[in-house]
Structure 1
Amino acid sequence: MVLAEQLLAAACAVRPPVWPTQFVLVQRRVPDANASVGLATTVTYYDYRAGANLILITPDTNASDVLWDLELDSGHSFYFTPARRTCSPMRFPVGILRPDWLANATLLGENITKNGRRCIGWTKQDFIDYYADAQTCEPVSWYFHSMRARFDTVYYRAGETATDPAMFEPPPYCPPAALT
């Protein structure tokens, strides 16, 4: 087991981590002072096999006003708020991020401390700075440049996904026909 962890850490240092095909991730969104978004808790259900990525964004200011960001491999994305029954469908021809989406990222450093953990950092210029634990390659924090906010990991579990597959379907008030 120790050898496997050492090999994983060595691989992480040489190239960006590859995501597992399924995971659940809970993060705190912490915006810069000049950001247009507020503090929030996000829960991500990534399921590459199902072709879906769901991010639930719960703002600190109103915990009942959860934004669902549902991204599908079909190239359709839906931003909806069940409490208000509002929906904004969008087309994103790329689909969801591939597990190796960090390939070709530029190394920021191999000994960066984030949230008290030694991390390895990569950047995709003008998009994201991504920090992974130097030992496990698990996500520790990332920073979205355009949003001007960092996302600090508080829970991560590879191999888990949404408990109900229906979570990966847009609600009836958000029809895909709106995308044509």
Structure 2
Amino acid sequence: MMNCILKKKTKMMIMTMIFCLLLTNASSSRITEKKDEDPKPKPWPEQFHSVLVMNNTKKNELQVTDLWYDWPNGRNLNLIQNQLGKLLYDLEWNNGTSYYYTLDATSECRTLLFEVGILRPNWLEGATYLGQKHMDGFLCNVWEKVDFIWYYEDVVTRRPVYWLFYTGLYAHVITFEEGVVLEDSRWQAPVYCFNKKAVEEEEEEQQETAGYPHQFLRDAIITEKKAEDPKPKPWPEQFHSVLVINNTKKNELQVTDLWYDWPNGRNLNLIQKQLGKLLYDVEWNNGTSYYYTTSECRTVLFEVGILRPNWLEGATYLGQKHMDGFLCNVWQKVDFLWYYEDVVTRRPVYWLFYTGRAVHVITFEEGAVLEDLQWQAPVYCFNKKEEEEEQQQQQQQIDGYPHQFLRDIMPLAFT
């Protein structure tokens, strides 16, 4: 009897061990299969338009780039707006020719010859999968390409979110519009690109172009100590500015077109959140603001109007500090805002809110005015009933929706 029981137990143990071994092998097979089926980066569409916020951490340079990619026609165009610098056009062709030029009064142009053309749509083939990681608030698949670039793609939409070069240059993808094509007339380099006697050799031209078109790292400026602290320059009564805004606490990134028009009592923000909808924020000096997209609209009433040009009066001077490659005078306004102004040009460079929201000023065009037609809120903003009270609108509808820029500093204008 005992031998029989022992035999049964031994048999059960052996069967259990075999079962466990089979499970282990099956698990190993699944892991192997999963490893063999790592996700692949989605090839680029053959034609697209993208807005990129790029930061060269080693050179301390910030820029916003409009990228137009057109593989069927063998061409690629970058409109590169360096922070408070010139707008540079980088036109690349698949025959290896590239033109770097401006369209302003300087009429600058450099021609380069490369051995290769533009990137092919499947240029990420063969990249090594590294796993998943959160970036800019998106869960991304991440790949590495020959120790040169790290590429982040949104797991859900498969749109590119971010990429990092080994040089320290990184790009945040703000918009990605598949199938969008730029009209042919915009692809023509200006005539002065062809007025040179001969095209310079590639190596020589690359040396000339190193760091082109604008160097932001400035030599230290020695300033004499003055009896009175410097004052921030009042804002011009009308201007246009492109801003890169990063909410570090919420991990949100956006590019905003700001149109300021004090004489007409109005302010307009075109807010492009990263891979999100374009939001219009029209603000009037009577306290009315309209926040709308192509199909939605929210109306809010505030007790104050738009910022006045001298809203920084009374700010406390903190001294000088380098920011984004510029030597700046820095002021603090009632423990709410830190404002950086370029010592040389006196243009705003950067400001930081106590909430962690950081604003980098990419362009600042004094006197620029937007045509009146662009200030009109759409008709569906006026189809709502009027019984909504101001406080209810502010608290329930617009609280944090989706981004407030100048309204955040409204109280400062009256401090």
Q: How does 1:18-97 map to 2 (within 5 A)?
A: 18-32=43-57, 35-36=58-59, 38-62=61-85, 65-83=86-104, 84-97=106-119
Cα distance per residue 1:41-95 (max 9 Å; x no partner): 1110000011111011101223xx1111111011111111222211111112211
Q: Which structure is higher in helix share? A: 2
TM-score when normalising by structure 1: 0.83
Higher strand share: 1
Letter of the 1:56 partner, please give it: L
Where does the alignment leave 5 or more consecutive residues of structure 1 unmatched?
1-11
Return the alpha-carbon distance in structure 2 between the equivalents of residues 144 and 88 of structure 1. Answer: 24
SS in 2 for 1:29: strand
Question: Can you list the C-alpha shifts for 1:131-179, whole angstroms capped at 9, x where unaligned?
Answer: 1111222110111222x121101111000021x2122222111129526
**Which one scores higher on RCO, CA 8 angstroms, separation ≥ 6?**
1
> For residue 157 of structure 1, what is the aligned residue in structure 2?
177
Go from structure 1 to structure 2 and tell me whether the alpha carbon gap of 1:145 and 1:81 turns closer, same or farther (over 3 Å shift): farther
The total of aligned residue pairs comes to 162
Instruction: Compute the displacement of 1:26 (Å).
Output: 0.2
Q: Structure 1, residues 75-131: CA drift from partner, whole Å, max 9, x if none? A: 11111122221111111221110000001111122x211100010111123421111
Letter in 1 for 2:81: T
- Mapping of 1:123-162 within 5 angstroms? 123-146=144-167, 148-162=168-182
1:178 matched residue in structure 2: 199
Separation (CA, whole Å) in 2 of partners of 1:42 and 1:28: 6
- Let me know the Cα RMSD of the aligned residues: 1.9
What percent of counterpart residues are identical?
35
Q: Distance in 2 between matches of 1:72 and 1:66?
A: 20
Secondary structure of the structure 1 residue equivalent to 2:193: coil
Instruction: Give the aligned residue type for 2:181.
Output: T
- Given the superposition, is the C-alpha separation of residues 72 and 179 from structure 1 closer, same or farther in structure 2, using an over 3 Å criterion? farther
Aligned AA (2:64):
T
Bigger Rg over Cα = 2
C-alpha distance in 1, partners of 2:199/2:114? 14
Match of 1:14 in 2: 39
Cα distance in 2 for residues equivalent to 1:13 and 1:179: 45
Separation in structure 1 between the aligned mates of residue 149 and residue 176 of structure 2, nearest angstrom: 19
Offset of 1:30 from its aligned partner?
A: 2.2
Paired amino acid for 2:170: R
Q: Go from structure 1 to structure 2 and tell me whether the alpha carbon gap of 1:107 and 1:161 turns closer, same or farther (over 3 Å shift).
A: same
Secondary structure of residue in 1 paired with 2:61: coil
Output the amino acid matched with 1:174: C
- Secondary structure in structure 2 of the residue aligned to 1:121: strand
- Matched position secondary structure for 1:39: strand
Tell me if structure 2 keeps the 8 A contact 1:13–1:134. no
Alignment TM-score, normalising by the size of structure 2? 0.37
SS in 2 for 1:14: coil
Pair 1:105-2:127 in alignment: yes
- 2:186 equivalent in structure 1: 167
Long gaps (5+) in structure 2 = 1-36, 202-415
Compute the displacement of 1:37 (Å).
Answer: 5.2
Could you tell me which residue of structure 1 aligns to residue 339 of structure 2? none
